[in-house]
A = this chain, B = another copy of it.
Amino acid sequence: MSNLSNTYDEILNSAEKLIVSGGYNGFSYADIAAVVGIRKASIHHHFPSKADLARALVARYRANAVTGLAEVESKFSDPLELLKTYAGFWAQCIGDASRPFCVCALLASELPALPPEVAVEVRAYFQHLSGWLTSVIERGDQQGALVISCPARVEAEAFMATVHGAMLSARAYGTPAVFELILEPSLQRLRPR
């Protein structure tokens, strides 16, 4: 019986918003307390240290990604459709500003300054995502549903990098549309003629 609006999750939700906009050092217990409507000390009850909070946050984020990707895979079987859906998810998140950046992409950029237990979670996210993309692309290649020009693993790493770089550009320019602009040719290249 998980409560939809329990304090634990509300803390993680507001921390996620804050972290997405300013990174690990860009939020404080005081910030979260103000948003959630409790006192600073009460956050320590749920998350003894800031590193605990961030670790839990990234772990939840990663778990959601794992189930999310699995769900997409159960809905579509065409590999190109899978990649399009993944890219489309972010295009929408960035477009409507509901989730304008990937938590793990942001944290990866400041990885050397992160508590080790958080860094481990971030790395695991990258590994899972790249693994998923590799398997999709590999299958697409075998089925002839995708045209690849280098090993599936490399194609997958390049695709993931393009997605993250496109996020960065969209944020830098302040124009969400540039994300789709960049992704379009990447997807086009994989389409069989």
Using a CB–CB distance below 8 Å, which chain A residues touch chain B? Answer: 21-23, 25-26, 100-101, 104-106, 108-113, 122-123, 126-127, 130, 149-150, 154-155, 157-158, 160-166, 168-169, 171-174, 178, 181-182, 184-186, 188-189
Contact = CB atoms under 8 A, between A and B. Distances in A.
Contacts of A25: 22-23, 25-26
B171 A23 contact: no
The number of times this chain is found in the oligomer is 2
A172 B123 CA distance: 5
Contact of A160 (B26, B111, B112, B169): B169
Given A104-B172, A164-B164, 15 more contacts: A21-B112, A21-B113, A22-B110, A23-B25, A23-B26, A23-B109, A23-B113, A105-B168, A108-B168, A109-B109, A126-B169, A126-B173, A127-B173, A154-B182, A168-B168
A163 B158 CA distance: 10
Nearest to A113: B22
Given A161-B166, A185-B154, A26 B173 contact: no
